[in-house]
Amino acid sequence: MNLQSEQQAKETGMQVSLKEAKKILTPQRRGFLAAGPYPYTHSLSAYVGCGFGQTTCGLYCYAQFLPNWTFGTGGAAWGKAVQVKTNAADLLAHELARMPAQERQKLRIFMSSTTDPYQPTEHSYRATRRCIEIFSAYPELDLLVIQTRSPLARRDLPLLTQIPYAYLSVTIETDDQAYLKKMQGGPLLEQRWELVRMASELGIATQITVSPCLAYTDVAIFGQRLLTSGAQRIVVDTVVDGDGSHGSRTARSPFARVEPAWDTTIPAHLLYNYLTEHAPAQHIELGWSVAGFCGIAPRAQRAL
């Protein structure tokens, strides 16, 4: 950790600890990543905990309720501690190398479901970067989705251009910066739009996840911005449809305490309907909730 990062960690009160993981590719047999139409085979998290946990998304983030968080970090508040899996890239290299090539070709990996791979800690520890370097040596996988809301992903765009099966998926849950700020903030929306634009201009497959759809400015304004962002796919989700418990998990989350309209799905449906009407003309693929997240076709079909 460099001096600047140490200073940042002190200022934010973030506890950063290091751990050696036993495995890095986690098979997906149930849960939202294993759903149809095109399930993921594995998830990959190079961190435990998430440095965005004290921002708006931490209000409803389901990862804070999972046991690996509670067991791993000694009861720290969500967003106040992060464990770095220092051997993530070594494990990935080992696990990929020992797989037969035919098995590697079937790999569909979601990075990450319980942390943001480009959270602030990645600035100095580069655990995500090192994993992506490993992927760049294996051209035959089916899919690698890198899910983030962090502008730090810009750093690795040149590397992503070398991975033909990579999809950069950027969370843009609203177009209303004032609303986001009023909640608990988060990475600036303009920087996320810029990340999508840059990735798409470099030829990287790019997706935006409006997940969960929060209050936005206007359906046509947000809808048009999404449709002209450069993203090839757009997924819209709600906390009711996508939290894995039909909203009961979110009902117990801090989000339900600060947002009286937390369980309304009407804005999300209005946005999805708007996109459905206008996306086909622009050849943009749309998805709703879990089926949208698991809606990226196998690579042979994507190339058609």
Give the footprint of ligand SF4 on this chain (CB under 6 A). Answer: 50, 52-53, 57-58, 61, 63, 115-116, 149
Q: Are 276 and 286 in contact (CB under 8 A)?
A: yes
**In angstroms, what is the minimal distance from the CB of 206 to ligand SF4?**
18
Type of residue at 27: P
Which CB, 61 or 183, lies closer to ligand SF4?
61
**In angstroms, what is the minimal distance from the CB of 116 to ligand SF4?**
4
Q: Report d(CA 27, CA 34) in Å as an integer.
A: 9
**The token pair that represents 32 in the structure block:** 């939202």
Type of residue at 277: E
Q: What value does the CA radius of gyration of the chain take, rounded to a whole number of Å?
A: 18
**In angstroms, what is the minimal distance from the CB of 119 to ligand SF4?**
6
Which CB, 63 or 214, lies closer to ligand SF4?
63
**In angstroms, what is the minimal distance from the CB of 47 to ligand SF4?**
9
Dihedral class, residue 234 (left if φ above 0, else alpha if ψ from -120 to 50, else beta)? beta
Q: Are 140 and 104 in contact (CB under 8 A)?
A: yes
Which CB, 127 or 279, lies closer to ligand SF4?
127
Q: Are 66 and 47 in contact (CB under 8 A)?
A: no
Q: Are 285 and 232 in contact (CB under 8 A)?
A: yes
Which CB, 82 or 227, lies closer to ligand SF4?
82
Which CB, 59 or 227, lies closer to ligand SF4?
59
297: which DSSP letter? P
**In angstroms, what is the minimal distance from the CB of 140 to ligand SF4?**
29
Closest CA to 46 of 21, 63, 29: 21
Q: Report d(CA 95, CA 87) in Å as an integer.
A: 12
Which CB, 19 or 94, lies closer to ligand SF4?
19
**In angstroms, what is the minimal distance from the CB of 82 to ligand SF4?**
10
